[in-house]
Amino acid sequence: MASTAQVQAAPARAGWQPAARALLGIVGRWYSVAVVLLLWELIARSGLVNPRLFPSLEVIWDQLVLLASRGTLWNHLAATLIRVGAGFGLACVGGVLLGLAMARVRWVDRLFEPLFSFGYPIPRVALYPVFVFLFGLGHLSKIAMIGLECLYPIAVNTYYGTRAVNERYVWAARNMGANEAQVFCKVIVPGALPQICAGLRIALPVALVIAILTEMIGATEGMGYLIAYASASLSRAQVFAGVVVIAVVGFVLDRLLALVRRRLVFWERESVQLF
């Protein structure tokens, strides 16, 4: 017969076991990041490489704290996020509308499909001098460049997601008396949403990459400018501090987009864990 202490300990074990499993799940998912950081620190402190070229994590952290305390980091990060948000937002609206139109209207498909086929392999960043000439070195040229670069994956994924909607769902809706607008809003768009969200998740890191590249080419503010300036000043620790910030921001934005997808596509299980 179980003692009183054993009976009291059973609920306690039942309480901490889920938390322990959750902790082990997090460790099992992200241990590779810890391994990479550990290897980085070992190499940096081994003396095999110049510490100016390969600074330790402590030095990188000190530079990150210094940039944050001076306010320099926040000013450059705000400029980059404004450009990413505006360019990505324009691409979302334009790409989704264009993809839906191409999938549902034949003449729109015939008009834009050749442009996508010929234009997709072209590195759009090569057109950046044209955007600078048209819009200047400020926000507009970078927002336009980000919007153009992100338009392709969003429009293509929307197009194929719309075309992949099962026709039986459309027939069933029409047989139940739904008009064309209801079929489009209640059947076609929800059916294409998983593919649309996939296009958005592909385009979001592209937006961040293009923002950094264009800021490195020509800008006076932004994370790309900060990294280029630090590199020209031979401050590798500041360069890696900027890289760390970009990586963290990209991770957070991706998880926020995954959360939005989970809310919108609630009937389909999300394969990506939020944390």
Whether residue 251 contacts residue 231, with contact meaning beta carbons closer than 8 Å, is answered with no
CATH number at residue 72: 1.10.3720.10
CA distance 63 to 111: 51
Question: Considering the domain boundaries, does residue 269 fall inside one?
Answer: no
Question: Considering the domain boundaries, does residue 205 fall inside one?
Answer: yes
* pLDDT over 70 (residue 25): no
- The residues near 206 (Cβ < 8 Å, ≥ 6 apart) are 149, 150, 153
Per the structure, the complete domain to which residue 142 belongs is given by: 57-264
The average pLDDT across 219-233 equals 90
Rg from Cα positions in the chain: 25
In a shared domain, residues 222 and 170 = yes
Q: For residue 97, count other CB atoms closer than 10 A to its CB.
A: 13
* Per-residue pLDDT reduced to its tens digit, 65-121: 999 998 889 999 999 999 999 999 999 999 999 999 999 888 988 988 888 888 778
In a shared domain, residues 110 and 16 = no
In a shared domain, residues 153 and 259 = yes
Count up the domains in the chain and report the number. Answer: 2
Whether residue 148 contacts residue 124, with contact meaning beta carbons closer than 8 Å, is answered with yes
* Per-residue pLDDT reduced to its tens digit, 161-218: 998 888 888 888 888 888 888 888 888 888 899 999 999 999 999 999 999 999 998 8
Residue 153, classed as helix, strand or coil, is: helix
Question: Considering the domain boundaries, does residue 249 fall inside one?
Answer: yes
Boundary of a domain, candidates 49, 68, 88? 49
The model's confidence at residue 134, banded by pLDDT at 50, 70 and 90, is confident
Closest CA to 225 of 244, 239, 245: 239
Question: Considering the domain boundaries, does residue 219 fall inside one?
Answer: yes
The contacts found for 236-243 with CB under 8 angstroms, 24 or more apart, are 236/52, 236/53, 236/54, 236/55, 237/55, 237/59, 237/60, 237/62, 237/63, 238/63, 238/67, 240/55, 240/60, 240/63, 241/60, 241/61, 241/63, 241/64, 241/67
Q: How many residues does the chain have?
A: 275
Question: Considering the domain boundaries, does residue 19 fall inside one?
Answer: yes
Provide the pLDDT for residue 1: 47
In a shared domain, residues 39 and 67 = no
Angle at 202 between CA 199 and CA 205, to 5 degrees: 140
The average pLDDT across 144-166 equals 92
* pLDDT over 80 (residue 6): no
* Per-residue pLDDT reduced to its tens digit, 30-79: 778 888 888 888 888 887 888 788 888 888 999 999 999 988 899 999 99
* pLDDT over 90 (residue 219): no
* pLDDT over 70 (residue 24): no
> In whole angstroms, how far apart are CA 180 and each of 37, 51, 157, 173?
55, 66, 22, 9
Whether residue 245 contacts residue 223, with contact meaning beta carbons closer than 8 Å, is answered with yes
